[in-house]
Amino acid sequence: MSSEAGAGNLRTAVIGVGYLGRFHAQKYRQIEGSQLVAVVDANAEAAQRVATELGVEASTDYLAILDRVDAISIAVPTPLHHAVAMAALERGVHVLVEKPIATTVVQAREMVAAAAQRGCVLQVGHLERFNPAIVAAVSKLQTPRFVESHRLAPFKQRGTDVSVVLDLMIHDIDLIQELVGQPIESIDAVGAQVFSGEIDIVNARIRFRGGCVANTTASRVSLKQERKIRIFQDDAYLSIDMQQKILTVIRKKDAAPVESPAQVAIEEESYDQGDALRDEIAAFLKAIREKSAPVVTGEDGLRALETATRITELVLASPSGRTVSPGPAT
């Protein structure tokens, strides 16, 4: 690759400029300290359209640009994540890869190992980590006892190259594991195919060491759109609307008489919609410059994929689901 990018602009590129990749390219073009060199897509027309919009080079061959950049975003279909990331990491190029990190746990482990070997930043695009309501909730968390999440969306053809577990639920898997901070002891899961050839709706119950239980549902066959997570702990109940960017904290009032019905104090805060993708990319570039760990590491992406893989295996093994201990995933 390139010169080490501690000073001056980081030379960047986006591999895959479909629906989401186009937004990545726009952010790299806008962020100070990023010099967007090229956009790449197997569809020459798509690549040229985004390149013309942003005034940069278009290419259909990602291998042709890797020696001219310091960092890339990978927004190609999930089955291609591993091949593109490995080619970049082996050349010493820093990688921000859209979630899920890869299709299989074996692929993800290879990516994490390659990044460590070459001293590259490998960040995974779990965008909800940059949601302002989630960021605000972290400071109010103590020891979660029960977590409930719902991620619902109407059916769209985009994303159906993978199951709803890898398409939608993996966002909440990553959040829940990060917020609980304990190893998983067991998982129950049920799900079904509805409109696509992959699993379209799933419910999983995850039990953690220390006693916390998380109940998470993801559906891409719903009539409404919803992204909510509720966290119960000893002193409070937190409700986070990730779509509307609203955090509600409900606590028992200290002054409530013991013999009377519990009186509660409700705090609700709304946050600006902001630009989570811009924040995510800015954090990626900052980690490169500072030679520090990114907000969402390759190991985080691997951990989320391991859990998602176990949930998928449970659903495929039995329509009614079953319990599994968290042994090695493959």
pLDDT of residue 157: 75
For residue 67, give the CATH number of its domain: 3.40.50.720
For residue 205, give the CATH number of its domain: 3.30.360.10
Q: Say whether pLDDT at 226 is over 80.
A: yes
User: Pick from 71, 67, 11, 79: which is nearest to 42 by CA?
Assistant: 79
Domain identity same for 201 and 111: no
Domain identity same for 282 and 256: no
Total structural domains within the chain: 2
**Residues 277, 266: Cα–Cα separation, whole Å:** 30
On whether residue 228 sits in a domain, the answer given is: yes
Domain identity same for 175 and 100: no
**Residues 148, 168: Cα–Cα separation, whole Å:** 15
**Residues 191, 89: Cα–Cα separation, whole Å:** 36
On whether residue 27 sits in a domain, the answer given is: yes
Confidence of residue 258 (pLDDT cuts 50, 70, 90): low
On whether residue 208 sits in a domain, the answer given is: yes
> What integer is the mean pLDDT of 311-320?
84
**Residues 81, 133: Cα–Cα separation, whole Å:** 29
On whether residue 4 sits in a domain, the answer given is: no
Domain identity same for 119 and 137: no
pLDDT of residue 253: 79
Kindly report, residue by residue over 132-145, the tens digit of the pLDDT.
999 999 999 999 99
pTM of the model: 0.90
On whether residue 302 sits in a domain, the answer given is: no
On whether residue 2 sits in a domain, the answer given is: no
User: Pick from 145, 199, 210, 138: which is nearest to 170 by CA?
Assistant: 199
Kindly report, residue by residue over 69-125, the tens digit of the pLDDT.
999 999 999 999 999 999 999 999 999 999 999 999 999 999 999 999 999 999 999
Confidence of residue 169 (pLDDT cuts 50, 70, 90): very high
Domain identity same for 177 and 267: yes
pLDDT of residue 256: 52
pLDDT of residue 162: 80
Domain identity same for 267 and 285: no
Domain identity same for 72 and 159: no
pLDDT of residue 252: 83
On whether residue 33 sits in a domain, the answer given is: yes
pLDDT of residue 325: 56
- Which residues constitute the domain of residue 16? 10-127+277-297
User: Pick from 115, 40, 50: which is nearest to 80 by CA?
Assistant: 40
On whether residue 252 sits in a domain, the answer given is: yes
